[in-house]
Structure 1
Amino acid sequence: MRGGEQVDREFDVSKARVLEQLQLCLDNSKKGALDAPIEALLNFINELDDYVTTSSCSGRIALFCEQQDARKRTGTWLLASHDVVTVEAAAAAYQDERIRDSQGPVMFKFEPFVLHVQCRTLERARDFLKTALDCGLRLWMASLCMCAPCISNSGLVLGKKFMVAVRTTLKLESPVAYDGQRLVDEAYIACLVQMANDMFAENLQRIARFETGVRAMVARQAEQATRALEREHARQARKHSQMAVAPAAKPTSTPAEAEEPILSLDF
C-alpha cells in the first residue's frame, strides 16, 4: 500500500496538472470551457486543498445525429445548449440538412448535471459522496466500485486515485429521425422542448442544493480540524505540565531514637 506522503505528492501533482489545463482552457468538452451554471461551484471546489474537479457538465439539451463505426459511437451535434432552449431553435435544428444524409438515429436529449472529483484521501472522498446523498436528492444513488472505468450514478471509484462521480438520473432521450427520415412533426418537437426545459430547471435546483451542501461540508471539516487541533494542544499542555512538576521527594528514614536506659532499682 502506498504511504501517506506518496499519496499526497501524487494528488498534488495531479491537481496542479488539472488546474493548469483549466487555466489554459484545455477543456475536453465540445465548448472548451467551464459551463456557466456550475462555474462558481467548480472554482470553489478547486480552491480546496483536498479536492479537484476532473470533468463536469452542468446539463445539456441537445439534438444529436449519431453515427457508428467499427470502433465507437460518434456523431454531430445539431443543437447543444447548457441552458433552456426555444421551440424555434429546436425546430430550426430539426430542419438541418445533415439529417437527410444521416445514417442511424437522430436523438433529442436532455442530459443531467455530472461531476467527477478527485480527492486526496478516501476519508475526503466519503465526505464528498455523503454530501451528494444528503442533499435531499432522492434520485441520486451510490455505489462503491474498485477501479471501475465509469459509473452511471453517484459513487466512489477506487484505484490509484480516489474519485467521486456525482450524477442524477434525470434524463430524456427520444429518436426524432432515422436513416435520413424525419419521424415527428413540430408539435412533437415542441413537447420535447417543454419536457427538457422543465428537467433543466429541476436540474439547476439540484445543483444549487448540492453547492450549498458542499459549502456546509467544508465548514464541518474545518470545524472538525479546529477541534482536533485544540485537543492536541490540550494534550501537549497536560504533558508539559506533568513534566514540569518535580517528582515527590521520597521520605528519608530517621534514625531510630535511642532507647532510654532501663533503670533497675533493687529494693
Structure 2
Amino acid sequence: MEVENTFKQWKKQCLNKIDFSKKGSVDEDITNIVSVLNDSEKYFTTSSCSGRIIVIDGGCNSYTQSPNMDVATLKSKVSDCLDVQKQNCSWLFVTHQKCQKTDLVTALERSCGDVIFKFEPFILHVQCRQLGDAQLLAVRSTHCLEVPLSRKGQVLVSSDYIEFLVEVANQKMIENLRRIERFFECLQSAMHHEDLHCTSSEAVKEKSVYKRRRKRTQDSPVEACQSSNDATLSDEDNGLQNGMDLFT
C-alpha cells in the first residue's frame, strides 16, 4: 500500500508540473498514447517526442574563419549560432514533420561549427508502478539517422547529397508515424487484455472465497460467524491459494 501511495504522489507531482520542453506541450501525433498511459493507474509519462528532424551545430568554439570571410560575416554567423543553445549545441533547425531541402541549406548558412543532421524516432519516457507493468512497454528501435554535414563551418557534402538526405529522413518520418499508429493499437489491445485478466481474476477469487465461506457456514455456523467478525485474514483468504488456482 505504501508503494502504491508513493507512485500516486509521484504521478500527481509530475503531471501537475510545468512543461519545460522547447515546445511546451505534448506533440500532436502522440497525444493519444500519452493520454492512455496517463489515464492508467499503472503509468505516467515523464517526457515524450513524436519524432523529429534536427540540424545541430556542435558550437562556434571550434570554428576557424575562412580566408574569404570578413569579420562582419563571422560575427553574424556566431550570433546566429548562439541563438538557441541546448546541451552545448545550437539547434539550427527542428521539425516534427517532413522537411525541405531549403530548411537544411538555410540552417547550414547559419552554422559556424560542426553541423550534424539527425532523424530521431518517437520516444516515450514512462514511469511504471511495477516491473511487470514496465515489461509491457519495453520496446526499442534503431530507426534513426545521424550524418555530419560540416566541419568547423565548412560544408562537407554536395547539394545533391543534401537532397538525398532529406528524402531519406522524410521516408523515415512517414514510417515513424506508421509505427506510432501500430504502437497505439497494440498498447490499447494489451491494456484491454490486462483489464479483462484482472476482472476475471477478481471474479475467480470472489467465487472461491464465497464457496469456502459457504462450506464453513454449513459445517459450523458459530465458527463462521466468529470468523466474519475477525478483521485478520488467513493466508488462504488473502488470495495466496487462489493465485495458484488461476494458472491451473
Same topology, TM > 0.5: yes
- Alignment of structure 1 residues 1-267 onto 2, 5 Å: 5-21=1-17, 26-67=18-59, 73-96=87-110, 99=111, 102-103=112-113, 105-129=114-138, 132=139, 154=140, 168-246=141-219
Q: What is the CA-CA distance between 1:13 and the residue it aligns to?
A: 0.9
Counterpart CA distance in 2 for 1:186 and 1:68 is: 23
Counterpart CA distance in 2 for 1:211 and 1:186 is: 38
- Provide the secondary structure at the position in 2 that maps to 1:55: strand
Q: Which has the higher contact order (CA 8 A, sep 6+)?
A: 2
Q: What is the CA-CA distance between 1:73 and the residue it aligns to?
A: 5.0
Q: What TM-score does the superposition give when structure 1 sets the normalisation length? A: 0.69
Counterpart CA distance in 1 for 2:137 and 2:117 is: 32
Q: How large is the RMSD of aligned CA atoms in angstroms?
A: 2.0
8 Å contact kept, 1:109–1:173: yes
- Provide the secondary structure at the position in 1 that maps to 2:146: strand
Q: What TM-score does the superposition give when structure 2 sets the normalisation length? A: 0.74
Unaligned runs of 5+ in 1: 133-153, 155-167, 248-267
Distance 1:44 1:181, change over 3 A: same
Larger gyration radius, structure 1 or structure 2: 1
8 Å contact kept, 2:45–2:124: yes
Question: 2:50 corresponds to which letter in structure 1?
Answer: S
8 Å contact kept, 2:108–2:115: no
Total equivalences in the alignment: 197
Distance 1:73 1:51, change over 3 A: closer
Counterpart CA distance in 2 for 1:212 and 1:190 is: 34
8 Å contact kept, 2:119–2:169: yes
8 Å contact kept, 1:110–1:196: yes
Larger mean CA deviation between 85-94 and 29-38 belongs to: 85-94
Identity fraction in percent: 33
8 Å contact kept, 2:122–2:180: yes
